[in-house]
Structure 1
Amino acid sequence: MDISVVVPLYNEDESLPELVAWVDKVMVENNFSYEIVLVDDGSTDKSWQVITQLKETYATIKAVKFRRNYGKSAALNVAFEVTQGDVVITMDADLQDSPDEIPELYRRIKEEGYDIISGWKKKRYDPITKTIPTKLFNAATRKMSGIELNDFNCGLKAYRGDVVKTIEVYGEMHRYIPVIAKWAGFSKIGEQVVEHRARKYGTTKFGMSRFINGFLDLLSIFFVGKFGKRPMHFFGSLGVLSFVLGIIMAIYIMVEKQILIYNNHSYRNATDQPLFYLALVAIIVGSQMFLAGFIAELVGRNAPERNQYLIEKEII
């Protein structure tokens, strides 16, 4: 099968018929063999009824319905498990992504050898309250990941089939799939300017809380990807640094006291100095972080996946 089109949706009963018809038209015109995987993320409208009706007309539809709303990441992860296409295209159900972009995305994956092609909505039809935070998060993600993309959160993306079979998407990690893929060894990531259409039906399903959660998820990806198999390198390094800093401050207090005594000067008790408490806190925190790293290492050594690595090719 050439293409799997993955569409996560939540309360999009009005747009689904038009979207599916548009995708089918593009596929037929380009002679693609394809499937459409629709994941109903606990919709409370008539989305599932619409999907079942569409299935009667379009045999290429596969569908999953959640009992409740789990979020876009969960919908994508479930859809990735059932896809069979050589190339997987993800897109939103609100018609703001154009299916006409699919042939070029497919071509770049197949002919240019990319692992991922991420859409870039260069001209957006979103309010400024959404575009400014998005720009800030894109800049932060570029800096932390080293991936030069302008729009990490664009729903329109193309993947080689083995990429989506390898990665795991959870929480609200969907906006950072290129970062997850890079940590998994899929480093050939490109970008393509795509059309961003004004919303035709309904309203956006995302609130301001997604930006806070998104930042926390970015930190989580960065930490797990870099230190997931060697937590002692992170906690141990910070712990030793804090402990040594505390010891240096404690030594400074003692040396200062001895100098004052030697020169017959009056001196304050060590406990009267703020530096004493800073030294004490630094030593305690350093010890705790070192122990946290040590415990994390013990847990990691007993984890069943401790020696699981992604192998691209093998000759035996």
Structure 2
Amino acid sequence: MDISIVVPLYNEEESLRELTAWIDRVMQANGYAYEVWLVDDGSTDDSWAVVRELTTANPCLKGIKFQRNYGKSPALNVGFQHATGDVIVTLDADLQDSPDEIPALYRMIVEEGYDVVSGWKKERKDPIGKTIPSRFFNLVTRLVSGIKLHDFNCGLKSYRRNVVKSIEVYGDMHRHLPLLAKWAGFRKIGEKVVEHRPRKYGYSKFGLSRLVTGFLDLLSLMFVGKFGKRPMHLFGTLGTLMFLIGFTSSVVIGTTKVYALANNMPKTLVTDNPWFYISLTTMVMGTILFVTGFLAELVARSNPDRNYYLVEEVLDA
């Protein structure tokens, strides 16, 4: 199988026939062996009835239906599990992503050796209420992750097969698939300018809240990727540092009090100094962080996947 196309969908009954016909024309014109996984994320309209109709008419089309709405990331994850192609392409079902881009995305994986190729909607056909927050999000993600992409959230992407089989997409992590691939050891990540079309049917299912959740997911992913197997390195370091700052400050306060008594200076209580409470609070917080790191380390060591690592190649003469 040359290409597996994974299409997550939610209430997109109007666009499915046109989308699948368009995909089929592109695949036939290029002579690709292909499959399309239409993953219905608990639609409340007639999307699944349309999927049933389409899969009956075309054996290259396959469908998966969720019992309820779980989100785009779970839909992609299940689609990745079922995909069998050498290259996996994802695109949205709303016809804003053009299937005409698929051959170029495929060639960048097969001929140019990329692990992941992300689309860049350089000229977006969305209202300014979506484009401005998206640019800000992409800027921050680019700076934090070190991956030089302009559009992390573009649904049109292509992956080498072993990439999607090596990562788990959960929560709302579909925005950070290139970063997930990077953490899994796939470093050759490319970008291609793709056509972005105005929405033809329905309305966007995403609001401004995804900007907040996107940043929270990014922080979570950075933490898990760097400290997931060694949480004590983070919590222990922060806890020790805070405890030492608080302890040093309390020693200075105590020394100052002894010096004042020895030199018959005006008597004041240690508790009259606000730095006393700051030092005490800092030591308590440092201790809590250290204990948190210790407990997190115990949890990490009890994880059955603690010694699971992706091995690319073994040479055993």
What TM-score results when the alignment is normalised by the length of structure 1? Answer: 0.99
The answer to whether structure 1 residue 53 and structure 2 residue 53 are counterparts is yes
Report the counterpart of residue 209 of structure 1 in structure 2: 209
CA distance in 2, matches of 1:113, 1:172: 28
Measure the CA separation in 1 of the matches of 2:267 and 2:219.
46
- How far apart are the structure 1 equivalents of 2:270 and 2:250? 9
Give secondary structure in 1 for the equivalent of 2:111: helix
Alpha-carbon displacement from aligned partner over 1:101-152 (angstroms, at most 9, x marks no partner):
0000000000110000000000001111111111111111111111000000
Amino acid in the other structure paired with 2:185:
G
SS of the equivalent of 1:308 reads coil
- For 2:240 and 2:139, the matched residues in 1 are separated by 32
SS of 1:221's partner is helix
Secondary structure, counterpart of 1:312 in structure 2: coil
Paired residue secondary structure (2:165): helix
Query: 2-side partners of 1:267 and 1:77: how far apart?
Result: 68
Q: 1:259 is aligned with what amino acid?
A: Y
1:56 Cα deviation after fit: 2.1
Cα 1:282–1:201, aligned 2, differ >3 Å: closer, same or farther?
same
Deviations 1:207-250 (A, max 9, x none): 11111111110000000000011101000000001000000110
| CA drift at 1:263 | 2.4
Q: Which residue of 2 aligns with 1:107?
A: 107
- Name the structure 2 match of 1:225: 225
Q: Secondary structure at the match of 2:97?
A: coil
Which residue number in structure 1 is paired with residue 81 of structure 2? 81
Q: Could you tell me how far 1:37 is from its partner in structure 2?
A: 0.4
Tell me what 2:161 maps to: 161
1:166 and 1:268 map into 2 onto residues whose CA distance is 64
Match of 1:237 in 2: 237
SS of 2:35's equivalent in the other structure is strand
- State the Cα distance separating 1:259 from its structure 2 match: 2.0
- Match of 1:183, as an amino acid? W
- Residue of structure 2 equivalent to 1:262: 262
Give the aligned partner of residue 279 of structure 1: 279
| Counterpart residue identity of residue 3, structure 1 | I
**Identity among equivalent pairs (%):** 60
- In structure 2, list runs of 5 or more residues that go unmatched: none
Alignment of 1:1-316 (within 5 A): 1-316=1-316
Secondary structure of 2:27's counterpart equals helix
Supply the distance in 2 between the matched residues of 1:303 and 1:89 (Cα, whole angstroms).
32
| Residues 235-244 or 263-272, more deviating | 263-272
SS in 2 for 1:166: coil
Unmatched 5+ stretches in structure 1:
none
Q: Secondary structure at the match of 1:154?
A: coil
CA distance in structure 1 between the partners assigned to 2:268 and 2:172 by the alignment:
54
Deviation at 1:51, TM superposition (A): 0.7
The alignment's TM-score, normalised by the length of structure 2, stands at: 0.98
- Please identify, of 16-25 and 121-130, the stretch whose mean Cα deviation from structure 2 is larger: 121-130
Deviation per CA, 1:77-101: give whole Å up to 9, x if none: 0000000000000000000000000
